Amino acid sequence: MSLNDGSIMPKQCIETLAQFNDRSCLRRYNSAGECPDIVNAICERDGVKPGNVFIENGSGPVLKMAFHMLFEDYIRSSWTRMASHLVGRPGVTMVIVSPTYEKVVNGAIRGGVGIHPIVLDEANGFQLDLKKLEAAIQKPCIVYLPNPNNPTGNLLVTRDEIIDLVERYPKNTFWVDEAYVQYMDPKIHQPVSDLVPKYDNLFVSRSFSFAYGLAGIHVGYLIAPESFIERMEKKSTPYRVGKLQESVVVTALRNADEHLRDVRALCAQEQARIGEALDQIDGITWYPSSANFILCKWPDTNTTTKFLADMLAAGVRLRPFAAPEMANHFRITLGLPEDTDQLLEALQVVTHYRGSEVLPPPSQQAVSEDAAAVGV
């Protein structure tokens, strides 16, 4: 339960997969080079134009390619930035929240990009202080906002706040990563993908690996200004997504409303089950999530390290964090009910909680047992 892959796919996708049942069914790449069937389905659902959509074999390649192009654009737009980049200083700054999705940040650092982190307030549920964000974006920069955020699971900015930011800071590029937005009821939060045709400084990335339960299909996409997408297409090869992927993704999009209601209900159910168990374990703090994972922590790093090792030995892998400020945290993916059953069984083995009975965390328990052995 360490990867945030989804739990279930739309039931109609099973019927689509069943159609691929002879030896020649996968001999074609897809309907056309740029996957117009997927693009049209996305346009219909997200309220954008075909020229706003770039499809790729997973969201990872989208992030890698598009961010590299953005960094290059910013550096080349100014002689000062070019000079800084040539002498090894950052030619462009990316404003991020902390903690956030590590791969994007690490990729930016490897590309020579300056990172300006806005630390989220853990005491206040990892809320983003918009005043601190605005203070950091007074000069042209790239702003990366996963919404909901990974690994904290909370919504960072509302739709109205995003509109306000892109309008008041037109020289900055706002990248809203909506990889997990489908886990949120649109009555609570409306995605911002449909705003892209209106604003040249707004980019939105999405994935089918999570709420759609299609990590094995491996398709992601970017919604961005048409001129940017055109350049991405010129830099890419055609037929990036195969016929099987195309067929399943189109089916998923056409049946999204019913499916996403099921997924949200499943996540809420499993989060409640896991949260109830975690509440019974002395020392663990967990944070309610709007995505398919829960961020948790022990009071100290040593306890966390031992706990994660003990859980792994019990057959459940949870997600640790390498950053020093997150070293006592871990993340649990919300999966199927049987996944939760296995997690709860492992928690009973490792922490020895039984119903309402509460025992101290593993390291403290070991200390207590050692003390008892010597008569303390």
Question: What percent of the chain is helix, strand and coil (3-state, nearest 5)?
Answer: 45, 15, 40
Do the beta carbons of residue 331 and residue 271 sit within 8 Å? no
33 pLDDT tier (thresholds 50, 70, 90): low
pLDDT surpasses 90 at 85: no
Peptide bond just before 299 cis, omega within 30 deg: no
pLDDT in tens, 162-195: 999 999 999 999 999 999 999 999 999 999 999 9
State whether the Cα torsion 277-281-284-287 is positive or negative. Answer: positive
| Residue range 12-254, CATH number | 3.40.640.10
Lowest mean pLDDT segment, chosen from 45-49, 224-228, 324-328, 369-373: 369-373
Q: Where are the domains of the chain?
A: 12-254, 258-373
Do the beta carbons of residue 304 and residue 297 sit within 8 Å? yes
First and final C-alpha spacing in the chain: 39
CA dihedral 103, 109, 114, 116 (to 10 degrees): 30
Instruction: State how far the Cα of 21 lies from the Cα of 252, in Å rounded to an integer.
Output: 19
Report the CATH fold assignment for 258-373.
Aspartate Aminotransferase, domain 1 (3.90.1150)
Report the candidate in 271, 274, 299 with the shortest Cα–Cα distance to residue 285.
299
Instruction: State how far the Cα of 183 lies from the Cα of 189, in Å rounded to an integer.
Output: 10
Q: What is the pLDDT of residue 237?
A: 83
Instruction: State how far the Cα of 31 lies from the Cα of 38, in Å rounded to an integer.
Output: 10
pLDDT surpasses 80 at 267: yes
31 pLDDT tier (thresholds 50, 70, 90): low
Output the six-digit token pair for 86.
């040539």
247 pLDDT tier (thresholds 50, 70, 90): very high
Q: For residue 293, how far is the Cα from the chain centroid?
A: 10
Output the six-digit token pair for 262.
């099921």
pTM: 0.88
Instruction: State how far the Cα of 178 lies from the Cα of 193, in Å rounded to an integer.
Output: 9
pLDDT surpasses 90 at 249: yes
Q: Do 12-254 and 258-373 come out as alike in CATH topology?
A: no
Higher model confidence: residue 351 or residue 83? Answer: 351
CA dihedral 52, 56, 59, 61 (to 10 degrees): -110
Higher model confidence: residue 74 or residue 290? Answer: 290
Q: What is the pLDDT of residue 317?
A: 95
What b/e string do you get for 137-167 counting C-beta neighbours within 10 Å, with b at 16 or more? beebbbbbbbbbbbbbbbbbbebebbbebbe
Instruction: State how far the Cα of 271 lies from the Cα of 253, in Å rounded to an integer.
Output: 25
CA distances from 283 to 12, 22, 122, 297, 320 (A): 43, 55, 16, 8, 17
pLDDT surpasses 80 at 30: no
4 pLDDT tier (thresholds 50, 70, 90): confident
pLDDT surpasses 70 at 207: yes
Higher model confidence: residue 76 or residue 246? Answer: 246
25 pLDDT tier (thresholds 50, 70, 90): confident
Q: What is the pLDDT of residue 42?
A: 96
Any long-range contacts for 109-113 (C-beta under 8 Å, 24+ apart)? 111/67, 111/68, 111/71, 112/71, 112/85, 112/88, 113/71, 113/142
